[in-house]
A and B are shown apart, each in its own frame.
Chain A
C-alpha cells in the first residue's frame, strides 16, 4: 500500500505541507480565502530543532493501535488506511493516548483529526506530497510497513 514517507535530509522546514494540508481540508477553493489570517490546523506537523526538520503525519500502521483502542468505533481500517469518522468520534482522545507517532490531534470541532491521505477531500493525491518543493515527502510503496507496536 502507498504511504507517506519523509526524508528529513531534504526537508527545508518551509511548512508548505502544513499550509497545503490545511487548505486541502478546508473545503474552500481559494487558498488565500481559506488561510489568510486564520490559525491553521493541519494534519501534518513539522518538527524543527537546530538544523533538523521533518514532517509527521499518520503512518497508517499495519497494526493501528488507535483503531483498536478507539472506544466509539470512529476509527476504522479500509484497505489498510486508517480513517476517522468525525461524526462518531466523541473526542475522548484515547487514540491520542496510544498513537506512538503523535499523529492524531484534537480539531476545532471536538472530534480528533488525522491524515487520511487526502482520500476524503477532492485532492486526489496527498496535498503535502504534491506541494513539497524538495521531495522531502513522498507517497509510495515501500517494503517496511510502519507499525504501532
Chain B
C-alpha cells in the first residue's frame, strides 16, 4: 500500500499519525511546497512576538518523518493529479503512483485587485513561516507597517509586531475588528486593548489606491508606510483537485469520511468543505485548526482501511490579544443570553432547547464545557441551565451523568 499526502500542516500530520495507528508498514510519501518540517502556522505571530522559536514551533519535533517512516519531499510542490492513472506529478516532472491520496493543501491568500498595488515594493502576506521570516527581515524599530484586513490573520500580525516597529496601522472594510468572529461589543473591547499597544485602526473603509509608500483610504485618510501586509482573506487551495475533476464549490466536497468525489482521493483541512452543525448543517469552509487535524485523522484512518466518520463540526476560535483572551464557538443565531461578569464579557446563544453558540472574553475558564453542550446537542432542560450559564461546571449535569463523566460508570 502506498499513501501519498500533499501538504505538511495539521491535517497532513493528523493523517500520518492515523495511518500509522492502523498500518505500521505501508509506504507514506509526502509532498510539501514549503521547505520546512511540519510546524504550526498559527504560531508565526507568536514567533515574531518572541513567545516561541523555530524549534518549539515544530508540531511533532524535528524527527517526525523519521519516526513515522515518511518519505518527505519538502520544498517540492505537486503540479497535477492524474486520478484515472492514480499518480501525482510533482514540479520536477516526476510521477509518484498512489493507492490512496490525501490533498491537504490548505488555504491561499486572496488579494482583491487594488489600484496602485504594483507600485508597492515591500508587500507580503502573513500565512506561512516564510512570510514571518520575510517580515522579520524587513522590519526594524523605525518601520511603519500597514496591515490591510482586521481578521484573525491581520490582527495576529499586528500583535506579533507591535513591539518591534514604530507604528502599526490596520485597515478593515467592516465596521469592527474580527468581523467574522466577534460581535460589535466584543470587537470594541479587543480593539481598545490593541489600541493601548499603539495599534491604530481605520474601520469601515478600504484602500482607494496605493503609492509606493502611502495608502489613500476611501475615507480620505492618507497613511504612509514602509511595509504593507495584505491580510484581506484566504480561500481554499483547490486548484489541484479542480483540475483533476473533483467536485469543488469554493471548498472541495467531501463525505463524512473525507472522501472527495474522485476514487481513492481524500481531502482534509482548509481545502475541504464542512457541514456546520450549528447552522442547519450548511456546507461551509470552516478553516479552523482543530477541524483540520480531526479531518486529517479521519482521512488517514479511512485511507488505511477504516470506516470512520468526522464528528460534529462547527466554527470555533480560541485566542487572544495581549493577554485578553477570547473563546467563541457555534452560531449566534438564537436567543442571546448575556451573563454579567466581573470582568470581560459572556454571551450564550440558545435555540430549540440547545446551546448553539457562545462568546467569552476575558474569563474563559472551562469554556470547553459549553463547547461540549453544543457538540452533544444536550437538551438544556436535562441540565441545570441557570447554574451552567453562570459558570461552566459539571455540577449542572445529573448525578448519573457525573458518575459517567468522572466515575467511569457506564449508563
Distance of A87 Cα from B60 Cα, bound (Å) = 14
Instruction: Name the distance in Å between B347's Cβ and chain A's nearest Cβ.
Output: 15
- Which chain B residues lie closer than 8 Å to A95 at the CB level? 368
Distance of A49 Cα from B42 Cα, bound (Å) = 40
A118 in contact (CB, < 8 A):
no
Q: Please tell me the size bucket of the interface on A.
A: 35 or more
- Which chain B residues lie closer than 8 Å to A72 at the CB level? 40, 43, 52, 56-57, 59
Name the CB-closest residue of A to B387. Answer: A49
Name the CB-closest residue of B to A53. Answer: B395
Hey, what's the 0/1 contact readout for A117-149 against B, CB within 8 Å counting as 1?
Answer: 000000000000000000000000011111001
B293 in contact (CB, < 8 A):
yes
A14 in contact (CB, < 8 A):
no
A97, B51: Cβ atoms closer than 8 Å: no
Say which residue of B59, B364, B395 sits within 8 Å of A52 (CB atoms): B395
B367, A7: Cβ atoms closer than 8 Å: no
B392, A49: Cβ atoms closer than 8 Å: no
Name the CB-closest residue of A to B290. Answer: A69
B407, A7: Cβ atoms closer than 8 Å: yes
Instruction: Name the distance in Å between B38's Cβ and chain A's nearest Cβ.
Output: 9
- Kindly identify, within residues 51 to 104 of chain A, every residue whose CB is under 8 Å from any CB belonging to chain B: 52, 54, 56, 59, 65, 68-69, 71-73, 87-88, 90-102, 104
- Which chain A residues lie closer than 8 Å to B368 at the CB level? 65, 95-102, 104
- Which chain A residues lie closer than 8 Å to B57 at the CB level? 72
Stretch in contact with the other chain, from B193-201, B268-276, B397-405: B397-405
Say which residue of B14, B43, B327, B410 sits within 8 Å of A96 (CB atoms): B327
B43, A90: Cβ atoms closer than 8 Å: yes
Most buried by A among B289, B290, B365: B290
Distance of A98 Cα from B366 Cα, bound (Å) = 9
Distance of A96 Cα from B365 Cα, bound (Å) = 7
Distance of A61 Cα from B111 Cα, bound (Å) = 42
Distance of A8 Cα from B57 Cα, bound (Å) = 41
A73, B408: Cβ atoms closer than 8 Å: no
- Which chain A residues lie closer than 8 Å to B24 at the CB level? none
- Which chain A residues lie closer than 8 Å to B51 at the CB level? 90-91
A73, B394: Cβ atoms closer than 8 Å: no
Hey, what's the 0/1 contact readout for B375-410 against A, CB within 8 Å counting as 1?
Answer: 100000000000100001111000100111111111
Given the interface pairs A88-B52, A88-B56, A102-B365, the reply to whether A56 lies near B43 with Cβ below 8 Å is no
- Which chain A residues lie closer than 8 Å to B404 at the CB level? 144
B371, A98: Cβ atoms closer than 8 Å: yes
Given the interface pairs A93-B319, A96-B327, the reply to whether A102 lies near B52 with Cβ below 8 Å is no
Name the CB-closest residue of A to B289. Answer: A71
- Which chain B residues lie closer than 8 Å to A90 at the CB level? 43, 46, 51-52
- Which chain B residues lie closer than 8 Å to A8 at the CB level? 399, 402-403, 406-407
- The 3 lowest CB-CB distance pairs between A and B, nearest first, are A102-B366, A100-B372, A69-B290
Can you name 21 A-B pairs with beta carbons within 8 Å?
A3-B408, A5-B406, A47-B394, A47-B395, A56-B406, A68-B294, A69-B289, A71-B42, A72-B43, A72-B52, A73-B40, A88-B56, A90-B52, A93-B318, A93-B320, A96-B368, A98-B316, A98-B371, A100-B372, A101-B369, A142-B408
